[in-house]
Chain A
């Protein structure tokens, strides 16, 4: 059973547009929800993360929206740029325990 479900699998966005990636989880014990960005041939890099006590967190052009009651969270990339083209992974965890990752979203930003 997949603990974290991520969609869409791939996404194509025009430069300047908004990219939205969604994740859903089942385990209400999760209390940490990060997003990772991965470029080809590289390891995933932590992008932004949120705890369930807030509904939104923004860092630059990246925003996480969190809906605790629906057990869903999403990544919004504003003013998407070609350099944002990468694979994005959501994840969920509780402290000291194992992380569960989504299956990834391949984002392509067209100039």
Chain B
């Protein structure tokens, strides 16, 4: 998985609780991305980063925030989890903004 780890790999949480997912890379790539994958929707971009402290919104950013204080770490936070955020979350990295390499994913269930 191209030097990308995601933690946790599985999480079950209750509605209304905050949740933080972590993506860690050892490739020193500039770009990092958070996607969610849902049946019938494919992969949809939540947020992405083009450098330390530089982030931008994707097409489904509502209810999510991100932070990137180091090149190797990109955090995704659900401030108050809802059942609609039950999904599989993938982190991806890219050196130049083209080829993306994906992590193993985090399966999040909000009850």
Contacts and interface: CB of A to CB of B under 8 A. Distances in A.
Given A43-B1, A96-B50, A98-B58, A104 B42 contact: yes
B74 to A, nearest CB: 15
A77 to B, nearest CB: 19
A34 B41 contact: no
A46 B100 contact: yes
Nearest to B90: A43
A18 interface: no
A43 B48 contact: no
B12 interface: no
B59 interface: yes
A42 interface: yes
Interface in A19-56: 32, 34, 36, 41-46, 49
Nearest to B104: A43
Given A42-B104, A43-B102, A43-B105, A95 B96 contact: yes
A46 B59 contact: no
A101 B33 contact: no
Contacts of B90: 43-44
Contacts of A32: 98
A57 to B, nearest CB: 14
A96 B42 contact: no
Contact of A99 (B100, B101, B103): B100
B43 A101 contact: yes
Contacts of A93: 97-98
Contact of A98 (B1, B48, B99): B48
A101 B58 CA distance: 12
Interface of A: 6, 32, 34, 36, 41-46, 49, 89, 91, 93, 95-104
**Which 8 pairs between the two chains have the least Cβ-Cβ distance?**
A43-B102, A96-B97, A101-B43, A103-B42, A101-B42, A95-B97, A98-B45, A44-B102
